Amino acid sequence: MSIRNYDREKCTGCGICIAGCPMDVLRLDKAAKKAVIRYPGDCVACWGCESFCPLGCFDVSPERGRGELVSPY
Amino acid sequence: MKNINELGTVINTDVLVLGAGGAGMCAALKAKESNVDVLLIDKCGIGWNGQVPIGGGILAYVYPEYVEKWAEKVTRDSNFFNNQDWAFAFGKYMHKSTLDLAAMGLTFLKNKGELDILTWGPNIHVTLFDAPKSLVALKKTALARGVKMMDKIYAIDLLKRDGQVVGAVGLGLVDGQTYLFNAKSVIIATGNCGYMHEKTYSSVQGEGPAMGYRAGAQLINAEFGSSYVWGIKALGKELMGIHFYLYLENARGEKIMGKHYPELMVGKHSVYTFDPRVIDAMQKEVKAGLGPIYLNLMGLTDAEIAGLAEDRVEGLTQLIANDTMKLLREKAGIDPSREKMEMWPRYLYSGGGLRIDIHGKTTLDGLWAAGGASSNSWSGGGGGQAGLGVQSAAVTGFVAGENAARYALDNHRLEIDFSSAKQILERVLAPLHLKGNLDAAEVVYRVHEAVVPMKYNRQREAGRMKEALGIVQDARNKLNRVGAADFHELARYHAAESMVMAAEFTYQAALMRRESRSGHFREDFPHRDDKNWFKWITIQHQDGAPRLSTLPVPLEKFKLRPQ
């Protein structure tokens, strides 16, 4: 789990989260003017959407969508 | 004659810029000053993409009167291993690029209406800018000046005709269209490879150097620049601040920095997140069975914690530390004043990039490169001060933009060669026809197993590096089992392949360099060997495989020589 909460009601479809997502997780539903979480499993929890969203629509957990991180040791 | 439009949507331009982060944006803005058509494309949405908006907003600065001394210091610090032409040019350009960026709309911290140039250390200066909004501001200017832009286009291969780069292939992530961009000159500004291990820098996945390499351009310095930062394990994020190192302890509760670097415990020191001494101490403790390593801030108030982040640039790192503490509480459920948190080293980057000359041109005609995707050896493989990454992106972007535009003014556009474009597209689109049974993430994980462990990539040694290359080969084999249902998955396939390639380049060059120098440390060759290794390593695609060569540092052409 990565995007653990997305407040669709609050979203105005400005597209900033979609622009900032390095993993192409989010897409815009142009008709509804809402962001859509299209590929949730690919989220790497970088917090881009959460920190850039002007309306605070996102709550992202620290875990990635897929796989744990390899240990450096 | 076959019609190129059968292969995809053809879009013509004079200058094509791949990647709209700091370097690409600067390249596009500068190219447009020559009044040519400029098209800027990015796999994300332009304005909020790349590494600059998520960075600290620090831009390195050198006073014009100090340039000579600055470049001389860089040269001496690198033991004359750097490209002095670039070091002097870079130092000289910083003043102009800072003013250019301000004129292009970047918001800087000002003092009484003047750009505030802050002192970071002895003869080290920086300016501060509004990072999150930086590219939005530059984008506004670029659009007003007529730069064309396309969002969500994943560029993955270059198109050539008669040995010259004439464009690129792009996958429309949203519209599912295949694009063939036809240009007079192309600039790769995609960043290098961050492998998505340090989460914050997940946008750079190695595509730019990989596509340049496939087209025949030389890469350089692949063995240098691999770096680790220490950060908070639960968050997958570094912790900015210069005094936190004092509070690192092992599983027994012993302070680790005093054990290994007692001199750091006396007086005041600035120890950054990328300080190799901290990584050393962590590694030694864990090796001795005393891990994991914790940061123990228990009993400290938020104000005291922010105080530990104290920096020479007032307020900035404190703010970042406050944000990180907030994230800890909200995301990981850790209250730093009540419980300790586990810290570990995180792998940040692979090194090197496309070799560029003083004009930002690669070794291929029609192709320029800028920012992290390029390597001009200005620093000689060494590190630097904060803000040099962004400044290097700006300067190399401006230089590449100016020269690629000049080339576009003087030359005709060569049309895309149908058969070679068809062949490239067949390769690019092949995973769409494969019913795969593996996710690209598994390939990336396998690459991480080769590049992240410090036994492979920090304390390098021939046997272990060969082992790491074996893991990378396994990752490459796994790629054959990855299919793609749509362009999103196809892009993930190509990103994974680019990471495989970045890892191969790093270890192949690191195996070749039988000495230790700068960030490249070989346990089996622990000393610097100027007699045999005063040369740069280049990598070029030949007969289906990477060919490594050496290029003696051309000291005879440079200004300074060791006495």
Six-digit token pair at B516?
Answer: 């230790």
To the nearest whole Å, the CA of A27 is away from the closest chain B CA by 8
Which candidate from A19, A51, A66 shows the least CB-CB separation from B441?
A66
Which candidate from B197, B202, B236 shows the least CB-CB separation from A22?
B202
For B200, the closest chain A residue by CA position comes to A46
Expressed as residue numbers, the domain containing B539 is: 429-553
Residue B287, domain member (yes or no): yes
Residue B499, domain member (yes or no): yes
With a cut of 60, say whether residue B1 has pLDDT above it.
no
Q: Where are the domains of chain A?
A: 3-60
Six-digit token pair at B469?
Answer: 């290359």
Domain stops at, among B328, B346, B364? B346
**Residues in CB range of B530: below 8 A, 6 or more apart:** B79
Tens digit of each residue's pLDDT (9 = 90 or more) over B354-363: 999 999 999 9
To the nearest whole Å, the CA of B121 is away from the closest chain A CA by 30
* Least reliable range by pLDDT among A58-62, B5-9, B37-41, B453-457: A58-62
User: Do B298 and B339 contact (CB within 8 A), yes or no?
Assistant: yes
CATH (domain of B255): 3.90.700.10
Q: What radius of gyration do chain B's Cα atoms show? A: 23
With a cut of 80, say whether residue B114 has pLDDT above it.
yes
Which candidate from A47, A52, A66 shows the least CB-CB separation from B48?
A52
Residue B107, domain member (yes or no): no
To the nearest whole Å, the CA of A1 is away from the closest chain B CA by 12
Yes or no, beta carbons of A22 and B152 under 8 Å apart? no
CA distance B506 to B349: 11
Question: Which residues in chain A are contacts of B200 at CB distance < 8 A?
Answer: 46-47
Which candidate from A41, A46, A73 shows the least CB-CB separation from B200?
A46
Place of tokens 């750097």: B82
**Residues in CB range of B128: below 8 A, 6 or more apart:** B57, B58, B59, B108, B109, B116, B118, B313, B316
User: Do B318 and B278 contact (CB within 8 A), yes or no?
Assistant: no
CATH (domain of B514): 1.20.58.100
Which candidate from B46, B236, B453 shows the least CB-CB separation from A73?
B453
pTM: 0.96
A5 touching chain B per CB within 8 A: no
To the nearest whole Å, the CA of A73 is away from the closest chain B CA by 5
At residue B383, the 3 state secondary structure works out as: coil
**Residues in CB range of A10: below 8 A, 6 or more apart:** A55, A56, A57
Tens digit of each residue's pLDDT (9 = 90 or more) over B74-102: 999 999 999 999 999 999 999 999 999 99
* Least reliable range by pLDDT among B43-57, B149-163, B392-406, B416-430: B43-57
Yes or no, beta carbons of B132 and A72 under 8 Å apart? no
Tens digit of each residue's pLDDT (9 = 90 or more) over B548-563: 999 999 999 999 999 8
Residue spans of beta strands (DSSP E) within B303-393: 341-349, 353-355, 367-369, 374-375
To the nearest whole Å, the CA of B152 is away from the closest chain A CA by 8
Tens digit of each residue's pLDDT (9 = 90 or more) over A12-48: 999 999 999 999 999 999 999 999 999 999 998 888 8
Q: Which pLDDT band holds residue B368 (cuts at 50, 70, 90)?
A: very high
* Least reliable range by pLDDT among B285-289, B295-299, B348-352: B348-352
Q: Which pLDDT band holds residue B381 (cuts at 50, 70, 90)?
A: low
To the nearest whole Å, the CA of B316 is away from the closest chain A CA by 17
With a cut of 90, say whether residue B235 has pLDDT above it.
no
Yes or no, beta carbons of A72 and B346 under 8 Å apart? yes
Question: Which residues in chain B are contacts of A73 at CB distance < 8 A?
Answer: 283, 286-287, 291, 344, 453-455
A19 touching chain B per CB within 8 A: yes
Residue B301, domain member (yes or no): yes
To the nearest whole Å, the CA of B345 is away from the closest chain A CA by 6
Question: Which residues in chain B are contacts of A48 at CB distance < 8 A?
Answer: 48, 54
**Residues in CB range of B329: below 8 A, 6 or more apart:** B335, B336
At residue B414, the 3 state secondary structure works out as: coil
For B347, the closest chain A residue by CA position comes to A72
Place of tokens 């995007």: A3
Domain stops at, among B346, B364, B382? B346
Residue B324, domain member (yes or no): yes
Rounded to an integer, the average pLDDT of B373-402 is: 88
3-class SS shares of chain B: helix, strand, coil, % to 5? 40, 20, 40
Residue B66, domain member (yes or no): no
With a cut of 90, say whether residue B277 has pLDDT above it.
yes
Yes or no, beta carbons of B44 and A62 under 8 Å apart? no
Which one of A1, A21, A23 would you mutate to disrupt binding with B, by most B Cβ within 10 Å of its Cβ? A23
Residue B244, domain member (yes or no): yes
* Through-space distance between the first and last CA atoms of chain A, rounded to whole angstroms: 26
At residue B509, the 3 state secondary structure works out as: helix
Tens digit of each residue's pLDDT (9 = 90 or more) over B494-542: 999 999 999 999 999 999 999 999 889 999 999 999 999 999 999 999 9
For B153, the closest chain A residue by CA position comes to A24
Question: Which residues in chain B are contacts of A15 at CB distance < 8 A?
Answer: 45
Q: Which pLDDT band holds residue B291 (cuts at 50, 70, 90)?
A: very high
Q: Bigger pLDDT: B133 or B322?
A: B133
What is the H or E stretch that residue B469 is in? helix B462-479
SS (H, E, C) B236-277: CEECCCCCHHHHEECCCCCEHHHHHCHHHHCCCCCCCCCCHH
The CATH architecture assigned to A3-60 reads: 2-Layer Sandwich (3.30)
Number of separate domains in chain B: 2
Rounded to an integer, the average pLDDT of B61-75 is: 95
Yes or no, beta carbons of A20 and B327 under 8 Å apart? no
DSSP B367: E
SS (H, E, C) B415-459: CCCHHHHHHHHHHHHHHHHCCCCECHHHHHHHHHHHHCCHHHHCC
- Residue B547's CB: how many other CB atoms inside 10 A? 12
**Residues in CB range of B473: below 8 A, 6 or more apart:** none
Which one of B134, B135, B200, B207 would you mutate to disrupt binding with A, by most A Cβ within 10 Å of its Cβ? B200
Residue B413, domain member (yes or no): no
A34 touching chain B per CB within 8 A: no
Domain stops at, among B346, B371, B390? B346
Q: Which pLDDT band holds residue B312 (cuts at 50, 70, 90)?
A: low
Question: Which residues in chain B are contacts of A62 at CB distance < 8 A?
Answer: 234-236, 331-332
What is the H or E stretch that residue B88 is in? helix B84-103
Q: Which pLDDT band holds residue B56 (cuts at 50, 70, 90)?
A: confident
CA distance B237 to B249: 19
Average pLDDT, chain B: 93
Q: What are the φ and ψ backbone dihedral angles of B355, each rounded to 5 degrees?
A: -65, 125
Q: What is the ipTM of this complex?
A: 0.96
For B238, the closest chain A residue by CA position comes to A46
At residue B392, the 3 state secondary structure works out as: helix
Q: Which pLDDT band holds residue B321 (cuts at 50, 70, 90)?
A: confident
